Amino acid sequence: MTFKANIQQGIPSVLPETKTYDTKINHAPKRKDILSQDEKKLALKNALRYFEPHHHNILVKEFSDELKNYGRIYMYRFRPEYEMYARPIDQYPGKSEQAKAIMLMIQNNLDYAVAQHPHELITYGGNGAVFQNWAQYLLTMQYLSEMTDEQTLTMYSGHPMGLFPSHKEAPRVVVTNGMVIPNYSKPNDWERMNALGVSQYGQMTAGSFMYIGPQGIVHGTTITVLNAFRKINRNPTGGLFLTSGLGGMSGAQPKAGNIAGCITVCAEVNPKITHIRHTQGWVNEVITGLDYLVARVNLAKTNNEIVSIAYLGNIVDVWEKFDVENIYIDLGSDQTSLHNPWSGGYYPAELSFEEANAMVVENPDLFKIKVQETLRRHTAAINKHTAKGTYFFDYGNAFLLESSRAGADVMSKNGHDFKYPSYVQDIMGPMCFDYGFGPFRWVCASGKLEDLIKTDAIACEVLEEMLKNAPQEIYQQIQDNIKWIKSAQKNKLVVGSQARILYADAEGRVKIAEAFNQAIANGEIATIILGRDHHDVSGTDSPYRETSNIYDGSSFTADMAIQNVIGDSFRGATWVSIHNGGGVGWGEVINGGFGMVLDGSQEASKRSASMLFWDVNNGISRRSWARNEGAIFAIKRAMETQPLLKITLPNIVADHLLD
C-alpha cells in the first residue's frame, strides 16, 4: 500500500499485526495506576469505540494489558509502518492544500528526530501529546485527506470529532486540548481523564502541530542568556551558565549557551537523552565525575572558552560541589519538567535514574517526598551561590512554584512573592514581549533546504530595512535577530522540517509574511507555513511565566489567550488551538496558537496582514493597560501606523496619593 493509500484508509478494516515494543526508542514513563476497576472498564469501552465490534474480542485484552503495563491505552498495534517525518507537501493526498500543510506539521511533531516519546505520540515535556492514541492519528489524517476548503475539522483533546461545513475563510482545523472545568484541573484530574481517554495535555506547540524541534527554544534561550548577561553587565565570554535538563525543550540550553558565547554546564540524569543531545551536536562534551567537571570548568574559565558540557547526574550535586569548590556561577536556572514533578519531570538526588523510575510506579508517595526533599536541597545550594553574586532566574518550568510547595526557602520577605524572578518577569517581558517581540516561525512546505536559505535571506533583508528607521527602544531587538538569522545556517539548527524561528514584532511579522507571499507568487519559493510558539506576547496567560510581568492583579486571568485564539480564527488563520496547561503545568496556564498557510495568493496576503497584526497587538494592548512602559510605547506606535486601531490607554496614578 502506498503512503497516500495508507493515509486515506484511516483506521484499517483488517487488524494490522501486533507491534514489538521497541526498547531502542525513548518511551514515556509508566503512568500512575489511578483508575478504579469501574473506570478501567470505562477506559476500555472508550478505546474500543474506535473499532468495529467484531474486533473487540481481540483488542479488549490487548488494550487492557496496555492500561496495566503503561497506565495508558496507546494502541501500539495501529502505529503506522511508514516512516514518520514531514514530507514535501505534494506527497500528501487531499483536496485542500491547507489540509495537506496540517498533515505535514502533524508528522513533523511525531518525527523520531523531533518527538521525545514518538511511540506514545508525545512531542516534548514528558506529556505534551499530539494525540492520545494511534486511532486518533489515523482518523485525523484520513479526515484531512478528505476535507475541502469548505469544511472545518474539530479536534477535542486529540480526538477528531468530525468534519463540519464551514467556508473558505474559516480555519480548516480548530484544536482544543485539556479544556476542563476549572475545579477539575488539578494534576490527578489530568491523570484520570487522560487514562480514560477523554482529555490530553497538549503542552503548547505539541498539541497544536507547530513544534519545530529544539530550534524554537534555542532562539528564545539564546536571547534570554544574552539579555541576562546584559542585565548583570557581564560579557558572556568566560561567564558560566549552570542549569539542568536535556529533554525536548531543555535540550536547547547548551546550544544556546554556545551561540551566546559562554560556558554552559547542563545536568541531566537520563543517559539516553544525554547521548542523543551529544550525538546531535547540541552539547559539546559529556562528563560523569564531579571532580573532573570542576577541573574542566576551571580550565574553560581560564581559557575563556565557549563550550557546553553535559553532566550526567543530578543538578543538586553540581550546585553543592561548585559551592564547596568556590566556582563562581554568573547565571543559574533550571529547565527540568517541574510542571510534571511526580511522573519523572524532576528526579530526586541520591537515587539512580532506574531506581527513581521504579519508585514513581511502585511507591509514588515516597517519590513525592524524595522530590520535595531534593527541591529543598536544590534551593538551599542556589541561595548560597546567589549570596556570592550569582543571578538566578526561574525558567518558567514551575521550579520556584514547586519549590515553594515543598517548603523551600524561595519566598521574599513579604511572604507572597518569590525571591527570584521569572525570566519573563525580569528579562523577556520588559525587553521583548512588552514591545511585541516574540517567537515567530515558518516551515518550508517543499522540504527543500534551498527554500529555507531563500527565506532566511528575505527575512534578513526585511529586518535590515526596518533597522534603518527603528526607534532606539527596539533597535537592539532587531539587531539581535539580524545576527541570529545570519548565523542560523552555520549553527545547524534544523531538526525535522526545514523551519526557522526569529523574534519579530507585529511590523516585522507582517512584512516578512508579505515578502514570503510575494516570493511564492513569483515562483521563487514554494508554500510557506507560518506559526509561532504559544510562548509569546499574546497567546498565553501564565502568571508564573508569560504574564509574570503583569502587575495590575490580572496575571491569573485568561481573557487574553481566549481573545487571541478567537480573533485569529476569524482573521484568517488556517488552524487555531487553545490549551489548558503548558510549560508550567496543567491548571496553571491557558495558551493558544495558530498555523497559517501562505500560497502566494492575494487572499493569503490579506489574511496574514490582518491576523498577524491582531495576534501581536492583542497582547501589547493588555500589557499596556497593565501600565507596562514598553507596551504603552509600542501600542501608541501601532496606533500611529493603523488608523483603525484605537486602544484604551491607562492614566498613571502618582504613588504619593495612595500613601
Binding site listing: 125-126, 203, 268, 395, 583
Who contacts 433 (Cβ-Cβ below 8 Å, separation ≥6)?
424, 536, 537, 546, 549, 619, 623
Q: Which residues contact 103 (CB under 8 A, 6 or more apart)?
A: 7, 92, 94, 141, 144, 145
The grid cell for 427 is 528579562
Binding positions for NAD(+) are 125-126, 203, 268, 395, 583
Contact status, residue 359 vs residue 351, Cβ threshold 8 Å: yes
Beta strands 240-244 and 263-268: pairing type?
parallel
In which residue are the cell numbers 507568487 written? 521
Q: 344 by DSSP, 3-state: which?
A: coil
- Which of these, 417, 390, 404, 440, lies nearest to 594 by C-alpha position? 440
Report the alpha-carbon distance of residue 258 to residue 243 in Å, rounded: 14
DSSP calls for 22-48? -TTS-PPPPPP----HHHHHHHHHHHH
Q: Are 189 and 168 in contact (CB under 8 A)?
A: no
- Nearby residues of 57 by Cβ (< 8 Å), 6 or more positions away: none
Q: Please report the DSSP string for 421-464 in residue order.
A: -BHIIIIIHHHTGGGT-EEEEEEETT--HHHHHHHHHHHHHHHH
Sign of the Cα torsion 97, 85, 120, 46 reads positive
Spatial separation of the C-alpha atoms in residues 289 and 267, rounded to whole Å:
12
Q: Which amino acid is at 523?
A: G
User: Which residues have CB under 8 Å from 344's CB, separation 6+?
Assistant: 29, 126, 337, 356, 357, 360
DSSP string, 172-234: SEEEEES---GGG-SHHHHHHHHHHTS----TTTTTTT--BTBHHHHHHHHHHHHHHHHHTT-
Residue whose C-alpha cell reads 545576527 in the numeric block: 483
If you write DSSP's letter for every residue of 101-132 in order, what string do you get? HHHHHHHHHH-TTT-SBGGGTEEETTTEES-S
> Which residue is associated with the grid cell 472508550?
46
**What is the rounded distance in angstroms from the CA atom of residue 494 to the CA atom of residue 238?**
27
Indicate the length of the chain as a whole number: 659
User: Which SS3 state, helix, strand or coil, does residue 156 take?
Assistant: strand
